[in-house]
Amino acid sequence: SLSVVAEFVETQQQQALLHKLGVQYLQGYLIGRPQPLAD
């Protein structure tokens, strides 16, 4: 079993396609923007 992380996910269309392809983990501006540690 292999876990896959997709990076640079910015649109809901990308998210939908990646879920169809079986990608389990997503990173990118759609999920959350970078924040300072204090926030």
Q: Where are the domains of the chain?
A: 1-39
Two tokens, residue 6: 């997709």
Model-level pTM greater than 0.85? no
What pLDDT sits at residue 1? 79
**Binning pLDDT at 50, 70 and 90, where does residue 39 land?**
low
Question: Strand, coil or helix: what is 16?
Answer: helix
Specify the pLDDT at position 3: 92
Rounded distance, CA 1 to CA 33, Å? 29
Instruction: Give the torsion through C-alpha atoms of 12, 13, 15, 20, to 10 deg.
Output: 140
Check: CB of residue 30 under 8 Å from CB of residue 13. no
CA torsion through residues 24, 30, 33, 37, sign: negative
What pLDDT digit, counting tens, does each position of 7-38 carry?
Answer: 999 999 999 999 999 999 999 999 999 899 98
